[in-house]
Structure 1
Amino acid sequence: MSVSSKRNLSLMMLPVLIITCAFFLIPMGQLILVSVSGDNGAMNYWQALTDGRYLRSMLETLVLSVVTTLTTLAIALVAGLFLARNQFSGKAWLVSLMTFPLAFPGVVVGFLVIMLGGRQGLSAELGLLLDGSRWTFAYSLAGLFVGYVYFSIPRVLLTVMSAVEKMDLMLEEAARSLGASRLRIVLDVILPALKPALIASGAICFATSMGAFGTAFALASGINVMPMTIYTEFTLGANIAMAAALSIILGLITWLVLLLARSASGASSTPAA
């Protein structure tokens, strides 16, 4: 490579380096320094990993994110297969409606959940009509689960639809001609073909659920997921070092899942020798 080519490559890489330093390396370095500040120092991490309150918060966040991801994948898989392979009047409107939550911030999604399952919501009015009590679920993990699934479906659905449209239908026809049942075709042909897309979109869904704050903030009553715990430590407790340590731990867990998903997605999309 000539000197001029190296110079041009360096100039092209300069914006990437500036953005990486300004928006990732410097903020992360500062966050790490803050997390080991104060009287406890690096023991903040040990406390975050051993204190029962923080552990419960992390466990609730992990379980909620996993359940949200699995539910979203199941819904988006069925809907994506149907929408990608069928043409009918109003299909474009239906797809637009199912992807509409992408336009909503988390706080708005939280308000929608309150309108559905809050004390004055639809479920409460239905409960009053049926047994005289208000059926509410908005201010709990169930309400947060509904909100997370609501804004996660569009992201996964669009990815699944794109992957379905690229599938080779001849493989299904070959399996059908060999006498394979509909279930065997789904398990042996469709799911393996969609596996990279499902893993990639599922990882994004998991990461979004782990760090989502707006919806949890709108439904804050009785909810102890990690973003709310970090917010409480930072604002109400003024424990900035612990908030930073919890943020680092949350980020590392999410990053590890994304790394594993990328590896699995890449491996599954590589044809066997």
Structure 2
Amino acid sequence: MHDLTFPLRWRVALIAPALAVFLAFWLLPMIALVQVSADGHFVETYLALLTNGRYMGSLGATIALSAAVTAATLVISTICGLLLARRTFAGRRALVALLTFPLAFPGVVVGFMVIMLAGRQGLIGALSLRLTGERWVFAYSMAGLFAGYLYFSIPRVIVTVMACASQLDGSLEEAARSLGASSWRVLCDVILPALAPGLVAAGAICFATAMGAFGTAFTLATDIDVLPMTIYTEFTLNANMVTAAGLSIVLGLVTWAVLTLARSVTGSAVAATA
């Protein structure tokens, strides 16, 4: 029989490009970032960051906003994704294309669209002025940033929900209905548990994206204090490289922790349903 295993030199040749990319675009920049953030006094530097009320307030606001966006995105996307995956109707493909179209927009464009919707000259302001005599403007606040993040988060999760829903075993739902389960019980006891691994993974990606999103926040940043904007301000306006690097590490660690937790929960869910 022929030996189907790759010789060592071929294994090295195959892994070398991936290793080079990992070193050049992740490991070396991260090492440099940690060195800059430590500034020769690792403990003192990070202790100062973690005890600074403004920085921790910005981190807390970013986490709260990302969690709210993730929760709203999962609810809306689950409803829409199940409908689109299980129903056939005229214009379905066009609707799916429109719902996923925002994936092509950068954050700056999303921010500009929020301004056109809820800015000082936006559609909502014009309608509210005509109906109530007051102009409703929220584009330049956390509410506007929430709308922008929701706008570009929903398409990502809808695609995941549709993919997961198309692989569900219909016989389990039929069995539940034959035993007298209502549509609500089928949804809660059969469909959602089956979708849980995909929803947890999509929610983690949604949270991580919202934590690090910058373009939309930069476009709307009149009265918005989220950590990416704080890092940008420290780096550009204050020329404070140490603080900017340290806050970047903190932001990365929080996001990494959420992704790791989601990965462990998803693994447990898969094991439980196997």
Q: Which category of TM-score, normalised to the shorter sequence, fits these structures?
A: over 0.9
Corresponding residue number in structure 2 for 1:254: 255
| Counterpart-to-counterpart distance in 2, 1:18 and 1:66 | 35
Amino acid in the other structure paired with 1:30 = A
User: Residues 165, 128 of structure 1: CA spacing in aligned structure 2 closer, same or farther, 3 A cutoff?
Assistant: same
Corresponding residue number in structure 1 for 2:173: 172
- Shift in Å at residue 270 of structure 1? 1.9
- Shift in Å at residue 271 of structure 1? 4.4
Corresponding residue number in structure 1 for 2:233: 232
- Shift in Å at residue 191 of structure 1? 0.6
State the Cα RMSD in Å: 1.5
| Counterpart-to-counterpart distance in 1, 2:12 and 2:138 | 55
State percent identity of aligned pairs: 57
| Counterpart-to-counterpart distance in 1, 2:79 and 2:164 | 13
Aligned residue pairs, count: 272
User: Residues 272, 161 of structure 1: CA spacing in aligned structure 2 closer, same or farther, 3 A cutoff?
Assistant: closer
User: Residues 7, 75 of structure 1: CA spacing in aligned structure 2 closer, same or farther, 3 A cutoff?
Assistant: same
2:66 pairs with 1:65: yes
List gaps (5 residues or longer) in structure 2: none
Corresponding residue number in structure 2 for 1:192: 193
Corresponding residue number in structure 1 for 2:140: 139
List gaps (5 residues or longer) in structure 1: none
State which drifts further: 123-132 or 76-85. 123-132
User: Residues 271, 127 of structure 1: CA spacing in aligned structure 2 closer, same or farther, 3 A cutoff?
Assistant: closer
CA contact (8 A) 1:35 1:42 kept: no
Amino acid in the other structure paired with 2:63 = L
- Shift in Å at residue 90 of structure 1? 0.7
2:27 pairs with 1:25: yes
Deviations 1:79-137 (A, max 9, x none): 00000001111111000000010010000000000000000001110121022221001
Q: Residue 134 of structure 1 aligns to a residue in which SS?
A: coil
- Shift in Å at residue 263 of structure 1? 1.2
User: Residues 104, 4 of structure 1: CA spacing in aligned structure 2 closer, same or farther, 3 A cutoff?
Assistant: closer
| Counterpart-to-counterpart distance in 2, 1:104 and 1:9 | 39
- Shift in Å at residue 246 of structure 1? 0.2
| Counterpart-to-counterpart distance in 2, 1:236 and 1:163 | 45
| Counterpart-to-counterpart distance in 2, 1:78 and 1:44 | 46
- Shift in Å at residue 241 of structure 1? 0.3
| Counterpart-to-counterpart distance in 1, 2:52 and 2:249 | 16
CA contact (8 A) 1:213 1:227 kept: yes
Deviations 1:129-161 (A, max 9, x none): 022221001000000000000000010000000
| Counterpart-to-counterpart distance in 1, 2:180 and 2:5 | 63
| Counterpart-to-counterpart distance in 2, 1:128 and 1:4 | 71
- Shift in Å at residue 16 of structure 1? 1.1
What TM-score comes out, normalization by structure 2 length? 0.96
Deviations 1:25-72 (A, max 9, x none): 00000000110127x654221122111101110010000000000000
Amino acid in the other structure paired with 2:235 = F
State which drifts further: 6-15 or 40-49. 40-49
Q: What does residue range 1-273 of structure 1 map to in structure 2 within 5 Å?
A: 5-37=7-39, 41-271=42-272
Amino acid in the other structure paired with 2:103 = L
